Structure 1
């Protein structure tokens, strides 16, 4: 059969087989099954089919994150139904409203390890590729089947290899790399592919930056995204996992490293692309498509009404730190609203400890409860018609933030903070102290 890509190896492992061929239909048993606020709808379907018990409650992870605190009686009812379902089924991996966004939380809790498979009722489940796991979004009916049987079929995807060389320049981020990929290869360029990153540039990226890449690749249409796990990943996960299991950190680290999967040197790829990180520049996705991308210099000066830093793509500590560095001792421009929502309670607590939150509040920012916030247009910062928003989120199609008449630009948190400071889209390198 020849060399195997990461996706082939991960699917083969989840299927209990030695190999898997591209295009083959394979029955898999994932290590973790993820759902969030949509658990209520899935649970109703589960009950309507006469099903009473999930196959393995220890493989379920449920997080309340999309509408927290609940903005309507219906959202509150959904949360109440989920709490009852969790108690009835004996689901231990349940994370209450305020703990944070599912993808961030499951990483922080070390519930996902290199080489494992996570299937979730959320498109950004690709996030877990940052830790060397196979993460893929599936539909609610597929999650229902997984609850009932513990298994589902997958078609083994072909793979695209993206090689990263060098290091990012000052003021350029992993978000800019992703936007450049979308511009070059289009939003559907990775449709049902496994996108597998390689090269010395991967090691130069922080764990948080790798999460940006794996998460944001969902907008590239991929089935999964993968960055090869290294010592940085093992060191990040080991103490977290040890706290969960009670085992010695070094023993846990060795076990984590042993479970990692890597593509074979002679694995076959559908295409290969090279990006030299030092050659990249800040990029912005313009309304109303994630691949309508231009260099920041071409849209600089565009007036904004609202700036948003957060979401599963860019609500981590290094994102908040970047914003605080720009806004320290300064004020948001008159007429501009800046909303900052940490991706998790862990991020919020550390940002508080380091003084970032105080800096942002003094600059005029609003701080939201950890969760998805206005990203999906539920609440906590919906723009008015004809307003212009610059967001660190993942999507900018019409109505994404709840208002079809609003215009949404996507950029890195540093660009968002600099733009909030000036009241117009701004290169952060122009305002860095």
Structure 2
């Protein structure tokens, strides 16, 4: 079901052997380019035709009527509503603490530089709806944007075949958060709609949210026309464990991420051969009993592995190299071990912080870097929706005090008009 990689005695970080799902965005770009061009040229009509052709859904009206949002919220299961409300509450606590205040630095007498944090004006938020639906992703996208102060928020989510609308729980989550601009649009055409604008949907400045390879390809293609958060790939979990960890917990966590997608990647790294044996036994039991068995088996057998290392030092090197979207630490003194993690989208510490907690209600964000991009990228946050703007103010005396430096640097770069722009204000 899942193969083993033995790195003992090699001092290797596994760089050349660790599995990971391929996200062939370049190939997908050839498919999405004509779709995006069509949306640019023909707007909403193109979106409706593409949706009918690719998704097999007729969507005569792209924007979801307000009544459907109200009806979805009214029909929402009370337990699901309570869970969404608690998820929103906790996410607001975490994300409100990320807000940045403007500040002014006094560089010299009469010379200041102020850094202002300004939210983008309009954001298009994408909520996937392929193999499953993600009302939790509504929360994870909307809350940080609202806390950042974004004034205009629109959501796009794929229409369901039975209704031509996004999933009702997604609509209910939008209504809970006060979002009334929602579109029955999925895939690359949703990104193009936000990038170019249509007669139904004004263009946005930024698009965020996870999606399939075609959404990722459209983001790459249109980056520059529109800002993007990331090209999110298939979900992944890394776990670093020692012999103190519960094999029942470990197997459950591997299965939980594998059920997302047959292309999910799951990596368990440990210095305990006995633990791996016990985890394999548990996987056989738990996979056989899980609802999405075929999906889980594909993920575990295709791009997942159990990795044996000499010790936790080597284990840390392996998980830092793999740079997982989600990384669990289930070891003795897990806090100290977690402090040594440098590359991960989010780190889950100890036996009672499974990835499922972060997916729904921890307060953290679940829109995280995948495919090893956690080496250089962060998850979605308030900062994703803010721009830092420097405001420079100098008195005549302060400018005169540095004019000779501008003389020197402008002359060195042979940009004498730069020098003149200063000297007309403060002559030599």
- Please classify the TM superposition score into its range, dividing by the shorter chain length: under 0.3
Higher relative contact order (CA 8 A, sep 6+): 2
- TM-score scaled to structure 1, two decimals? 0.25
Work out which of the two has the higher radius of gyration on C-alpha atoms and give 1 or 2: 2
- TM-score scaled to structure 2, two decimals? 0.25
